[in-house]
């Protein structure tokens, strides 16, 4: 089974209100990602949020999603990744596809290419001009390794320490690296001003 997961439990420190509520081309940022996953062939759909979700959930249509509350969201993205993997492992998922709630410009066609890419490697991710993007596919082979992750790093730690585990899929689509970190990013439009991440060689964007 393949599960689709949206990580959306961040603090939104650069926004005056919850970032995922920010309007992007007519609807809340997070709703774009939710609607994308509804179109994709997942056996289960999971949304990881923080405890404040109960105050804003009325603004979203997440029908068909299982909502998981991450009480440890202040630790960083790794806590949300672990939450998703714990849930998926118990339900015998063969792989999960990890999306971010602040990436509303992802294209369905590009995501299909990534999630259907065939390889024996346990991590699959799109690569745009040398930058690792999303979604990130994580197979059950390494769920136990992912459960050891800590802090605000996510799968990036495994990718940097064990590049042999990763299959990159080259795409000609900047949407895979285009997230919204601050209000100005919304005004720049769909494919401008992408945050590039750091590090040498393959740059990671998470």
Residues 169-204: tens digit of each pLDDT: 999 999 999 887 655 555 555 544 444 433 334 445
Q: Which neighbouring-strand residues pair with 142?
A: none
pLDDT band of residue 20 (cuts 50, 70, 90) is: confident
**Mean per-residue pLDDT of the chain:** 86
Is pLDDT at 53 greater than 70 in this prediction? yes
DSSP codes, 46-86: EEEE-TTHHHHGGG---TTEEEEE-TTGGG-HHHHHHHHHH
Q: What is the residue extent of each domain of the chain?
A: 2-187
Q: Residue 33: is its pLDDT beyond 90?
A: yes
Contacts of 64 (CB under 8 A, 6+ apart): 38, 45
Of 49, 66, 56, the C-alpha closest to 101 is 49
Residue in the block written with tokens 């940097």: 160
First-residue to last-residue Cα distance in the chain: 25
Residue 18's pLDDT is 73
Judged against a pLDDT cut of 60, whether residue 206 lies above it is answered with no
Is the pLDDT at 113 greater than 80? The verdict is: yes
Q: Among residues 204, 200, 1, which one has the least CA distance to residue 96?
A: 1
Domain over 2-187 is classified CATH 3.90.550.10: yes
pTM: 0.88
How much is the average pLDDT of 145-154?
86
Sign of the four-CA dihedral 110, 11, 205, 174: positive
Average pLDDT over residues 41-47: 97
With cut-offs at 50, 70 and 90, classify the pLDDT of residue 75.
Answer: confident
Over residues 22-34, the mean pLDDT reads 91
Distance CA 23, CA 188 (A): 13
* Whether residue 151 has pLDDT greater than 60: yes
> What b/e string do you get for 34-45 counting C-beta neighbours within 10 Å, with b at 16 or more?
bebbeebebebb
**What one-character DSSP code corresponds to residue 203?**
B
């Amino acid at each position: 089974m393949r599960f689709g997961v949206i990580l959306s439990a961040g603090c939104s420190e650069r926004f005056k209100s919850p970032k995922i509520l920010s309007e992007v081309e007519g609807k809340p940022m997070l709703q774009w990602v939710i609607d994308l996953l509804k179109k994709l062939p997942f056996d289960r759909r999971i949304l990881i949020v923080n405890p404040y979700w109960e105050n804003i959930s009325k603004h979203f249509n997440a029908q068909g999603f299982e909502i998981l509350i991450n009480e440890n969201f202040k630790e960083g993205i790794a806590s949300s990744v672990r939450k998703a993997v714990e849930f998926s492992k118990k339900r015998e998922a063969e792989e999960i596809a990890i999306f971010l709630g602040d990436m509303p410009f992802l294209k369905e066609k590009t995501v299909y290419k990534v999630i259907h890419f065939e390889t024996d490697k346990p991590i699959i991710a799109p690569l745009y001009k040398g930058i690792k993007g999303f979604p990130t596919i994580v197979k059950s082979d390494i769920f136990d390794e992912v459960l050891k992750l800590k802090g605000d790093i996510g799968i990036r730690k495994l990718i940097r320490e064990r590049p042999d585990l990763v299959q990159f899929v080259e795409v000609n689509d900047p949407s895979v690296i285009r997230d919204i970190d601050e209000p100005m990013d919304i005004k720049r439009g769909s494919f401008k001003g992408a945050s590039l991440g750091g590090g040498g060689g393959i740059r990671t964007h998470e």
